[in-house]
Chain A
Amino acid sequence: MSFRQPRFPAMPPRAAEEAARVVVVGAGLVGLTAALDLARRGVPVVVVDDDDTVSVGSRAICFAKRTLEIYGRLGLGARFLEKGVTWKVGRVFHRDRETYSFDLLPEEGHEYPAFVNLQQYYAEAWLVEACTETGLVDLRWRHAVTGIENGAQAVRLAVETPFGAYALHADWVLACDGARSFLRRALGLRFEGQVFQDRFLIADVRMQADFPAERWFWFDPPFHPGQSVLLHKQPDDLWRIDFQLGWDADPEAEKDPARVSARIAAMLGPGRPFELEWVSIYTFRCRRMERFRHGRTIFLGDAAHQVSPFGARGGNGGVQDADNLCWKLAAVLSGEAPESLLDSYDAERIPAADENILHSTRATDFITPKNEAARAYRDAVLELAARYAFARPFVNSGRLSRPYLGYGEPAPDAPILRQGRPDWLLRHIGADGGFTLLARGEAAETGIRTLIIGRDIEDHSGLIAERYRLAEGEAVLIRPDQHICARLPARERDAILSARARVLGR
């Protein structure tokens, strides 16, 4: 069982000049997520991509709980759970022994676990299917954007296809065209940050192995002295192995399959046949744009910010950008909110990107010590950690992606009974695209979708009580992206409506 790389057909332009309300540039993980989110809200979207397939090589593999909840809201959660490898234990090795292990301790009572490992191409292929099924997403493969005029009233995109060029006039453009973003460069926007002076060999290896579904990280192992190695399990008997190579490594020579195979054989030991599926060499960077919204062109995902993969914050962060922006854009398009609501995307997601960059920078600095002192401290931490628990929190092989809390806590999930049947709370929050009021006791009639505990849903596990701490007569107002935005008396209609109006920027 393995993935078959799809090739999507390219279509000729329909006309020399076309218009669309929303154009997503880039059908990568983030662009496809944004397109599906908008389509689920009834907004038709044109998506253009310069390529004709999904991610080549698996790239992102670790999908975090919040991301899974977003895919749950978009109707794809079950596929991630079914196909993905759920894991929660990480082990850290130093030289020839295990230093310690950690459990991400996912509390019980959430539909989604802390992490699921899945190749990015599966996620993208499912997103393409789901987008197509909505009938609202016009996916255009091998339509490359080659020019942009970012006007105050509309954006004009020049698009090239194998059949000729055309112009696409958009009210709004979501720039999801990846780390090398053409749109960002074409608009002359800065993308600054730090390059880590190190190279990493990333390999996906196919083998039958009975290693557990855990994250294993080695510092200075005997099979790869002086450097670090990471091992992760993926579905389809695929294993992700990252070898740190150092700055002096020759990227071309290192890609030689014989050389890569020798490294892997040294790691796995004799008698373990394997096949190389994908090999790539990376130098990692952390950087972001100063602002993500530029009038009618809004940047998301790697186009807006880039991190090193330690902590799995790139794809997860980008999906959370889409989660944050799409309901706002839909509200602006429907006239429910003023355009200024879109500025809150910047205000909310720039600090989130900074947090991701901070964590990923610190992890990379730990893994790649910059000088003698940094190396001495790193090794000191590892030596202490093997013996003393106090030193373990210093070990940083990647602080794994967690939601940013700066604009409210994502509504926690909880098992519920609905009409006597087991169900999950989050499935009923934001599912209709709007705000949700979750209340204990009588609630005012507001027109907002209201869930009354004890009437509409049953908190049989007591976990809603524990996680929301609602007093009798109290409610929380939850945004369409499942973030809690207000806590207020359930019966006060005006207070509830004005809280919603405030969140909508009115």
Chain B
Amino acid sequence: MISDPDAFYAALMDAHRGLSPEESRRLDAKLVLILADRIGDLPTLLEAIAMARAAGSGPVADRLAKEAPRA
């Protein structure tokens, strides 16, 4: 757990300020790759992908929620 979730969240929002949707998307992709490198463990990363796919609503998420781990 991050010590100051609000500060992290705000930093994330700041990072996107002034970016076009395309630039934002690329920034997020870079972040994912950097964080993945820091985590460095394939099973953990695959679990994270499954969690992201399962959370939320809609037909895809509903279907996947059954398979994904609950962290």
Contact = CB atoms under 8 A, between A and B. Distances in A.
B63 interface: no
A383 B26 contact: yes
Contacts of A381: 29, 33
B11 interface: no
Contact residues of A: prevailing secondary structure: helix
B37 A373 contact: no
B45 interface: no
Interface string A364-377: 00000000110011
Interface of B: 22, 25-30, 32-34, 37
Interface of A: 372-373, 376-377, 379-381, 383-384, 388, 390-391, 394
Given A372-B25, A373-B25, A380 B37 contact: no
A376 B33 contact: no
Dominant secondary structure at the B interface: helix
A20 B22 CA distance: 64
Nearest to B28: A376
Contacts of A391: 33, 37
Contacts of B28: 376
Nearest to A379: B26
Q: Which of B28, B33, B34 has the most CB of A within 10 A?
A: B33
Given A383-B30, A384-B30, A376 B22 contact: yes
Which 7 A-B pairs give the minimum distances between C-beta atoms?
A380-B29, A376-B25, A380-B30, A390-B37, A377-B29, A376-B29, A376-B26
19 contacts: A373-B29, A376-B22, A376-B25, A376-B26, A376-B28, A376-B29, A377-B29, A379-B26, A380-B26, A380-B27, A380-B32, A383-B30, A384-B30, A384-B33, A384-B34, A388-B34, A390-B34, A390-B37, A391-B33
A59 B33 CA distance: 36
Contacts of A380: 26-27, 29-30, 32-33
